[in-house]
C-alpha cells in the first residue's frame, strides 16, 4: 500500500513495460474471471415495476443478512464482490446497521427515481405572466420562498456530506441519500425561482432559523442527524408545505407545494422507518433516541420565534395588513404551529414511542398552547 501511494506509475519503467507488453501480445492475467463470488439470476417480481433493489435481495448480494457491524469491507467494493488484497481503506465512519438502516429503504429509493420532476419544465411558469400580487402579499410570499431556499440548501448539504462516510455495503441507503440530496437541490431551485418571479426578489435571511439549520450539520452520528433532519425538521417542513399549499395565492404556487410535498413525505418516511428499526432491533438505544429528540425538538421548534417566517406567514394567511387580516392570519398561524407539534407526536406514536409525550417539554408547550387557543376561540382539528 505504501508503494501504491508513493509511486508515480508514469515514471515506473517496469510497470509501463508490462502494460505495453500486455496490450501488444494479448497475454492477459484473467484472474478476475475466477472471482469467488455467487452466481445468481435475479428476476423481476413485477415486470411492470422493473428490476428493483428488492429483486436483488438474494444470497450474498442481499441486505437481509447484513450483520450489525460490517467488518470485511472498508473499501469501495460493492456488496457481494470479491475484495482482493491491495484495495484502499475508504475509512467509512458508519459501518453499523443500527446507525442507518430502515425498513423499506430500497422502496423509498425506487419511488424517488420514479417520481422525479423538473423545476424548469414541470412548473407552469408561463401562468405567472401578467399576475401581479399586492405588494404586501408579494413580499410575504417572497420572504417565505427565501426562507424555504435556506432550508432546502442545508437539507441538500446535510445528507450529502454523509455519503462518503457510509459503508458501501449499505448501498440501498447510500442510493436513497443521494436521491434525497437531488430532491433537496431541486426544492432549493424551485423556491429560488419563485422568489425571483414574485417581482420582489429575495428578501431577508433568518439568523434564528439558520442557527437551527446549522444544528443538523453538526450532528455527531448519522442516526442523530436522521432523527433531527428526517424525523423532526422535515416533519415540521411537511406540515409547513401543506399549510403553504392551502395559503398559496396562485395555482402555480399550489403546484409547487404539491410536488415538494411528495418528496418531503418520502424523506420523513425514511426517518420514521429508521427510527422504528432501531427501536425494534436495538431497544437498548431507546434512551439515546430520547436524548436526540430532546435536542432536536428544542432547536427545530425554536424557529417559530423567527419573525422573518412568522410575520410573512401571518400576512399570507390573513391576506393583508389590515387589523382583520392580521387577526385571521394569527388564527391560522396558531393552528399551523399547533398542528406541527401534534403531527410530530403522532409520528412518534406510529414509530413505537408513545411515552415521548410524557418525556418531552415540547408536549407540555403543545398542551398549554392548545388550551390557550381554545380559550381564544381558535378551532383546532
Q: State mean pLDDT over 246-262.
A: 96
> Which cell numbers hold the place of 324?
382583520
pLDDT, tens digit, 9 for 90 and up, residues 315-361: 999 999 999 999 999 999 999 999 999 999 999 999 999 999 999 99
Distance CA 112, CA 159 (A): 15
pLDDT, tens digit, 9 for 90 and up, residues 69-78: 998 888 899 9
Is the separation of the CB atoms in 170 and 100 below 8 Å?
Answer: yes
pLDDT of 370 higher than 80: yes
- Alpha carbon of residue 17 to chain centroid: 50
Question: What SS3 state is found at 45?
Answer: coil
pLDDT of 52 higher than 50: yes
Distance CA 298, CA 218 (A): 15
Q: What is the pLDDT of residue 28?
A: 80
Q: State mean pLDDT over 265-280.
A: 97
- Domains recognised in the chain with CATH numbers: 2-61 (no CATH), 97-375 (1.10.620.20)
Q: How confident is the model at residue 8 (pLDDT cuts 50, 70, 90)?
A: low
Distance CA 216, CA 230 (A): 10
Q: What pTM was computed for the model?
A: 0.91
pLDDT, tens digit, 9 for 90 and up, residues 62-97: 998 899 999 888 889 999 999 988 898 889 999 999
pLDDT, tens digit, 9 for 90 and up, residues 97-142: 999 999 999 999 999 999 999 999 999 999 999 889 999 999 999 9
Q: How confident is the model at residue 1 (pLDDT cuts 50, 70, 90)?
A: very low
Q: What is the pLDDT of residue 211?
A: 85
Q: What is the pLDDT of residue 212?
A: 83
Q: State mean pLDDT over 238-255.
A: 96
Amino acid at each position: 500500500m505504501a508503494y501504491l501511494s508513493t509511486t508515480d506509475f508514469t515514471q515506473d519503467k517496469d510497470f509501463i513495460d508490462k502494460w505495453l507488453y500486455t496490450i501488444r501480445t494479448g497475454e492477459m492475467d484473467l484472474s478476475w474471471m475466477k472471482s469467488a463470488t455467487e452466481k445468481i439470476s435475479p428476476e423481476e417480481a413485477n415486470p411492470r415495476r422493473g428490476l428493483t433493489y428488492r429483486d436483488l435481495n438474494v444470497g450474498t448480494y442481499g441486505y437481509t443478512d447484513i450483520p450489525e457491524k460490517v467488518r470485511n469491507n472498508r473499501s469501495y467494493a460493492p456488496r457481494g464482490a470479491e475484495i482482493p488484497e491491495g484495495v484502499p481503506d475508504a475509512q467509512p465512519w458508519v459501518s453499523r446497521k443500527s446507525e442507518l438502516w430502515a425498513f423499506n429503504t430500497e422502496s423509498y429509493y425506487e419511488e424517488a427515481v420514479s417520481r422525479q420532476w423538473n423545476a424548469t419544465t414541470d412548473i407552469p411558469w408561463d401562468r405567472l405572466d401578467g399576475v401581479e400580487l399586492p405588494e404586501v402579499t408579494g413580499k410575504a410570499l417572497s420572504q417565505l420562498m427565501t426562507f424555504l431556499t435556506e432550508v432546502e440548501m442545508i437539507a441538500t448539504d446535510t445528507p450529502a456530506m454523509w455519503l462518503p462516510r457510509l459503508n458501501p455495503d449499505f448501498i440501498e441507503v447510500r442510493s436513497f441519500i443521494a436521491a434525497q440530496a437531488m430532491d433537496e437541490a431541486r426544492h432549493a431551485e424551485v423556491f429560488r425561482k419563485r422568489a425571483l418571479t414574485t417581482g420582489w426578489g429575495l428578501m431577508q435571511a433568518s439568523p434564528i432559523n439558520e442557527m437551527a439549520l446549522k444544528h443538523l450539520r453538526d450532528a455527531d452520528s448519522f442516526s442523530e442527524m436522521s432523527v433531527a433532519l428526517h424525523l423532526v425538521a422535515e416533519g415540521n417542513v411537511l406540515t409547513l408545505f401543506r399549510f403553504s399549499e392551502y395559503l398559496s395565492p396562485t395555482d402555480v404556487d399550489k403546484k409547487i407545494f404539491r410536488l415538494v410535498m411528495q418528496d418531503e413525505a418520502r424523506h420523513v418516511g425514511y426517518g420514521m422507518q429508521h427510527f422504528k428499526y432501531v427501536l425494534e432491533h436495538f431497544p437498548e438505544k431507546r434512551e439515546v433516541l430520547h436524548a436526540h429528540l430532546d435536542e432536536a425538538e428544542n432547536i427545530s421548534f425554536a424557529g417559530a420565534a423567527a419573525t422573518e417566517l412568522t410575520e410573512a406567514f401571518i400576512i399570507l394567511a390573513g391576506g393583508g395588513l389590515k387589523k382583520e387580516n392580521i387577526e385571521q392570519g394569527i388564527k391560522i398561524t396558531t393552528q399551523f404551529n399547533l398542528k406541527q407539534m401534534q403531527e410530530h407526536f403522532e409520528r412518534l406514536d406510529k414509530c413505537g414511542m408513545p411515552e415521548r409525550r410524557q418525556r418531552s417539554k415540547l408536549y407540555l408547550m403543545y398542551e398549554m398552547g392548545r388550551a390557550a387557543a381554545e380559550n381564544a376561540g381558535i378551532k383546532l382539528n
